[in-house]
Structure 1
C-alpha cells in the first residue's frame, strides 16, 4: 500500500512539476546515480556501475540537447561542461575506474549547485 501511494506521489510530482523543478530533479538524479555507480565500482558490481553511469550520461545528454545555446556565452560554456562530464563518465564506464568518478562527481555536484542557485535567484526576481 505504501509503495503504491509513493509511486502515485512520485508520478504526480513529475507530471505537475515546472520546467525548473524537472531540471532540479534531473541534476539531483545525476548526483545520486553517479554516487551509486562509484560505490558499485568499489563493490565490483560491474552491471550496477554500468547502469548508473549510463543513467547519469543520459541526464547530461538530455541537459545538453535541451540547453538554449542562443542564451549567450554562459549557455555555450554549460554545453561544453556537460560534454566534458559525459566524456569522463564514458571513460569511467570503460575503465570501471573509481578515480575518474572521484574527478567527475564534484563537477556534477557543482552543476547541480549552479542550477539550484539559478532557480533560487529566479524566484527572488
Structure 2
C-alpha cells in the first residue's frame, strides 16, 4: 500500500469512527479552511475557486443549523442559529461581491466558533 492510499484509509477511518463531537470539530476545521481558501482565491481573482470554497463553508453552517436540536438547547441554541446565520449571510455577501473586507470580518468569527466548540469538547472529555 503506498503512502497516499494509507493516508486516505486513515482519513476515511477517522471519519467513520469519530464521535459526533469530533465530527463537529472536523466540520468547523473545514469551515475555517474553506473560508481562508475562498478569501485567497478572491485575492487571486479566481472566481470559480472562491465560489466553490465559500459555498462549502456556507453549507457547513447550513448543516450545523439543521442538526441543532432547538428543543433541548433553549436560548443558547437560538443564539447559535443567529451566529450561524450571520456567518452564512456574510459568506454569501463576500461571495457575491468578491469582498475581502467581509472575509476579514467573518473568518475570525468562524475561528471563534471553532475554538469555542474545541474548548467545550476538551472540557467534556476531561470531565468524564
Aligned partner of 2:98 among 96, 99, 109: 96
Measure how far apart 1:124 and its partner are.
Answer: 2.1
Where do residues 44-59 of structure 1 align in structure 2 (5 Å cutoff)? 44-59=45-60
1:7 aligned residue: 8
Measure how far apart 1:3 and its partner are.
Answer: 1.2
2:77 aligned residue: 75
CA RMSD of aligned residues (A): 0.7
2:17 aligned residue: 16
Could you state the TM-score of these two structures normalised by the residue count of structure 1?
A: 0.97
Tell me how many residue pairs correspond in the alignment. 125
Aligned counterparts of 1:66 and 1:55: Cα–Cα separation in 2 = 17
Per-residue displacement from partner, 1:4-50 (whole Å, max 9, x unpaired)?
11111111100010011000000000001100000000011111100
Aligned counterparts of 1:75 and 1:113: Cα–Cα separation in 2 = 17
> Are residues 1:26 and 2:27 paired?
yes
Could you state the TM-score of these two structures normalised by the residue count of structure 2?
A: 0.95
Measure how far apart 1:111 and its partner are.
Answer: 0.4
Per-residue displacement from partner, 1:24-83 (whole Å, max 9, x unpaired)?
000000001100000000011111100000100010000010011121211110011001
2:116 aligned residue: 114
